[in-house]
Amino acid sequence: MIAAIARLIAVVAAASVVVTAAHAQDFPKRPISMIVPFAAGGNSDVIARTVAEQMGTLLGQTIVIENIGGAGGSTALTRAARAEPDGYTIAIGNAGTNAAAYTIYPKLPFTPDSFAPIAVVAKTFGVVALRKGFPATTVQEFIAYVKSHPGTINLGHAGVGSSNFLICKSFEQAAGIDVTWSAIVVPRRR
Protein backbone atom coordinates (compact mmCIF):
# COMPACT_ATOMS: atom_id res chain seq x y z
CA MET A 1 0.00 0.00 0.00
CA ILE A 2 2.78 2.44 0.92
CA ALA A 3 4.62 1.60 -2.31
CA ALA A 4 1.42 2.27 -4.30
CA ILE A 5 0.98 5.65 -2.60
CA ALA A 6 4.63 6.51 -3.28
CA ARG A 7 4.16 5.63 -6.98
CA LEU A 8 0.97 7.74 -7.08
CA ILE A 9 2.79 10.73 -5.60
CA ALA A 10 5.62 10.31 -8.14
CA VAL A 11 3.13 10.20 -11.01
CA VAL A 12 1.34 13.29 -9.71
CA ALA A 13 4.65 15.10 -9.36
CA ALA A 14 5.60 14.20 -12.93
CA ALA A 15 2.18 15.31 -14.20
CA SER A 16 2.52 18.57 -12.30
CA VAL A 17 5.87 19.27 -13.96
CA VAL A 18 4.27 18.69 -17.38
CA VAL A 19 1.34 20.97 -16.55
CA THR A 20 3.59 23.66 -15.09
CA ALA A 21 6.00 23.57 -18.04
CA ALA A 22 3.13 23.88 -20.50
CA HIS A 23 1.97 27.19 -19.03
CA ALA A 24 3.49 30.44 -17.89
CA GLN A 25 5.49 30.30 -14.67
CA ASP A 26 2.68 32.00 -12.77
CA PHE A 27 0.25 29.14 -13.46
CA PRO A 28 -1.97 28.40 -11.66
CA LYS A 29 -3.42 31.74 -10.61
CA ARG A 30 -6.75 30.30 -9.45
CA PRO A 31 -8.22 26.97 -8.31
CA ILE A 32 -8.25 24.08 -10.77
CA SER A 33 -11.40 21.99 -11.29
CA MET A 34 -10.98 18.22 -11.41
CA ILE A 35 -14.01 16.54 -12.93
CA VAL A 36 -14.81 13.07 -11.63
CA PRO A 37 -17.25 11.16 -13.86
CA PHE A 38 -19.00 9.33 -11.01
CA ALA A 39 -20.66 9.98 -7.66
CA ALA A 40 -18.62 10.74 -4.56
CA GLY A 41 -17.28 7.76 -2.65
CA GLY A 42 -16.41 5.41 -5.52
CA ASN A 43 -13.00 4.38 -6.85
CA SER A 44 -12.71 7.31 -9.26
CA ASP A 45 -13.60 9.79 -6.51
CA VAL A 46 -11.14 8.37 -3.98
CA ILE A 47 -8.36 8.34 -6.58
CA ALA A 48 -9.19 11.89 -7.70
CA ARG A 49 -9.19 13.23 -4.14
CA THR A 50 -5.82 11.61 -3.43
CA VAL A 51 -4.35 13.04 -6.63
CA ALA A 52 -5.96 16.46 -6.02
CA GLU A 53 -4.49 16.73 -2.54
CA GLN A 54 -0.96 16.02 -3.80
CA MET A 55 -1.33 18.22 -6.90
CA GLY A 56 -2.68 21.07 -4.79
CA THR A 57 0.33 20.87 -2.51
CA LEU A 58 2.80 20.70 -5.41
CA LEU A 59 1.15 23.52 -7.38
CA GLY A 60 0.31 25.69 -4.37
CA GLN A 61 -3.31 25.92 -5.47
CA THR A 62 -6.65 24.41 -4.53
CA ILE A 63 -7.96 21.57 -6.70
CA VAL A 64 -11.77 21.52 -6.58
CA ILE A 65 -13.42 18.13 -7.13
CA GLU A 66 -16.59 18.17 -9.27
CA ASN A 67 -18.49 14.86 -9.16
CA ILE A 68 -20.66 14.70 -12.29
CA GLY A 69 -22.44 11.38 -12.69
CA GLY A 70 -24.46 10.06 -15.60
CA ALA A 71 -24.23 8.03 -18.80
CA GLY A 72 -21.28 5.92 -17.62
CA GLY A 73 -19.08 9.01 -17.29
CA SER A 74 -20.00 10.63 -20.61
CA THR A 75 -21.88 13.50 -18.96
CA ALA A 76 -18.74 14.52 -17.08
CA LEU A 77 -16.45 14.20 -20.09
CA THR A 78 -18.86 16.30 -22.14
CA ARG A 79 -18.44 19.05 -19.52
CA ALA A 80 -14.66 18.61 -19.56
CA ALA A 81 -14.51 18.71 -23.38
CA ARG A 82 -16.45 22.00 -23.43
CA ALA A 83 -14.14 23.69 -20.90
CA GLU A 84 -11.55 26.24 -21.96
CA PRO A 85 -8.28 24.44 -22.83
CA ASP A 86 -6.37 26.55 -20.31
CA GLY A 87 -5.30 23.90 -17.80
CA TYR A 88 -7.88 24.92 -15.20
CA THR A 89 -10.20 21.99 -15.90
CA ILE A 90 -8.91 18.43 -15.81
CA ALA A 91 -10.81 15.14 -15.73
CA ILE A 92 -10.21 11.71 -14.27
CA GLY A 93 -11.17 8.92 -16.66
CA ASN A 94 -10.95 5.17 -17.07
CA ALA A 95 -11.30 2.51 -19.75
CA GLY A 96 -15.06 3.00 -19.78
CA THR A 97 -15.14 6.78 -20.02
CA ASN A 98 -12.14 7.18 -22.27
CA ALA A 99 -12.38 4.16 -24.57
CA ALA A 100 -15.59 2.14 -24.49
CA ALA A 101 -17.92 5.14 -24.43
CA TYR A 102 -17.11 5.95 -28.07
CA THR A 103 -18.43 2.60 -29.25
CA ILE A 104 -21.40 2.44 -26.88
CA TYR A 105 -22.54 6.05 -27.43
CA PRO A 106 -21.74 6.84 -31.10
CA LYS A 107 -23.08 10.43 -30.99
CA LEU A 108 -21.02 11.84 -28.13
CA PRO A 109 -20.18 15.55 -28.36
CA PHE A 110 -16.49 14.73 -27.91
CA THR A 111 -13.89 12.34 -29.33
CA PRO A 112 -10.66 10.89 -27.94
CA ASP A 113 -8.88 13.82 -29.60
CA SER A 114 -10.83 16.23 -27.36
CA PHE A 115 -8.47 15.38 -24.50
CA ALA A 116 -4.72 15.44 -23.86
CA PRO A 117 -3.71 12.64 -21.47
CA ILE A 118 -1.18 13.73 -18.85
CA ALA A 119 -0.74 10.74 -16.51
CA VAL A 120 -1.87 7.30 -15.44
CA VAL A 121 -2.58 7.73 -11.74
CA ALA A 122 -4.00 4.36 -10.67
CA LYS A 123 -5.01 0.87 -11.71
CA THR A 124 -8.10 -0.79 -10.28
CA PHE A 125 -9.65 -4.23 -10.47
CA GLY A 126 -13.08 -5.79 -10.21
CA VAL A 127 -14.41 -7.74 -7.25
CA VAL A 128 -17.29 -10.21 -7.14
CA ALA A 129 -19.33 -9.47 -4.00
CA LEU A 130 -22.48 -11.27 -2.93
CA ARG A 131 -24.91 -10.44 -0.15
CA LYS A 132 -24.48 -12.33 3.09
CA GLY A 133 -26.56 -15.48 3.03
CA PHE A 134 -26.48 -15.86 -0.77
CA PRO A 135 -26.58 -19.59 -1.66
CA ALA A 136 -23.12 -19.48 -3.26
CA THR A 137 -19.84 -18.80 -1.44
CA THR A 138 -17.30 -19.18 -4.27
CA VAL A 139 -17.14 -17.88 -7.84
CA GLN A 140 -17.64 -21.40 -9.16
CA GLU A 141 -20.75 -21.88 -6.98
CA PHE A 142 -22.04 -18.47 -8.09
CA ILE A 143 -21.66 -19.36 -11.78
CA ALA A 144 -23.44 -22.70 -11.22
CA TYR A 145 -26.25 -20.96 -9.32
CA VAL A 146 -26.75 -18.33 -12.03
CA LYS A 147 -26.78 -21.00 -14.74
CA SER A 148 -29.52 -22.83 -12.85
CA HIS A 149 -31.50 -19.56 -12.44
CA PRO A 150 -30.99 -17.77 -15.83
CA GLY A 151 -32.17 -14.18 -16.06
CA THR A 152 -33.11 -13.94 -12.38
CA ILE A 153 -29.88 -12.64 -10.83
CA ASN A 154 -29.39 -8.88 -10.81
CA LEU A 155 -25.86 -7.64 -11.54
CA GLY A 156 -25.14 -4.01 -10.64
CA HIS A 157 -22.84 -1.49 -12.29
CA ALA A 158 -22.25 2.27 -12.37
CA GLY A 159 -23.73 2.77 -15.84
CA VAL A 160 -23.41 1.44 -19.36
CA GLY A 161 -19.90 2.18 -20.55
CA SER A 162 -18.39 2.47 -17.07
CA SER A 163 -15.33 0.37 -16.35
CA ASN A 164 -17.20 -1.81 -13.88
CA PHE A 165 -19.92 -2.37 -16.51
CA LEU A 166 -17.18 -3.63 -18.84
CA ILE A 167 -15.77 -5.87 -16.11
CA CYS A 168 -19.25 -7.28 -15.37
CA LYS A 169 -20.01 -7.80 -19.07
CA SER A 170 -16.68 -9.58 -19.57
CA PHE A 171 -17.37 -11.79 -16.55
CA GLU A 172 -20.86 -12.61 -17.85
CA GLN A 173 -19.51 -13.60 -21.26
CA ALA A 174 -16.53 -15.58 -19.91
CA ALA A 175 -18.72 -17.48 -17.44
CA GLY A 176 -21.47 -18.07 -19.99
CA ILE A 177 -24.17 -16.79 -17.63
CA ASP A 178 -27.45 -14.92 -18.19
CA VAL A 179 -27.99 -12.05 -15.72
CA THR A 180 -30.25 -9.02 -15.44
CA TRP A 181 -28.45 -5.67 -15.57
CA SER A 182 -29.14 -2.60 -13.48
CA ALA A 183 -27.24 0.58 -12.82
CA ILE A 184 -26.49 1.24 -9.17
CA VAL A 185 -28.23 4.43 -8.10
CA VAL A 186 -26.78 6.19 -5.08
CA PRO A 187 -29.44 8.33 -3.38
CA ARG A 188 -28.48 11.87 -2.45
CA ARG A 189 -28.14 12.63 1.23
CA ARG A 190 -30.26 15.47 2.47
Identify the CA nearest to 38 among candidates 66, 65, 69, 64. 69
Report residue 24's pLDDT band, with 50, 70 and 90 as the boundaries: low
What is the arithmetic mean of pLDDT over 23-52?
Answer: 89
Report residue 96's pLDDT band, with 50, 70 and 90 as the boundaries: confident
Letter for the amino acid at 86? Answer: D
| Residue-wise pLDDT tens digits, 137-148 | 999 999 999 999
| Residue-wise pLDDT tens digits, 50-64 | 999 999 999 999 999
Q: In terms of pLDDT, which residue wins out, 17 or 130? A: 130
Give the per-residue pLDDT at 23: 47
Task: Tell me the pLDDT of the chain averaged across its residues.
Answer: 82
- pTM exceeds 0.75: no
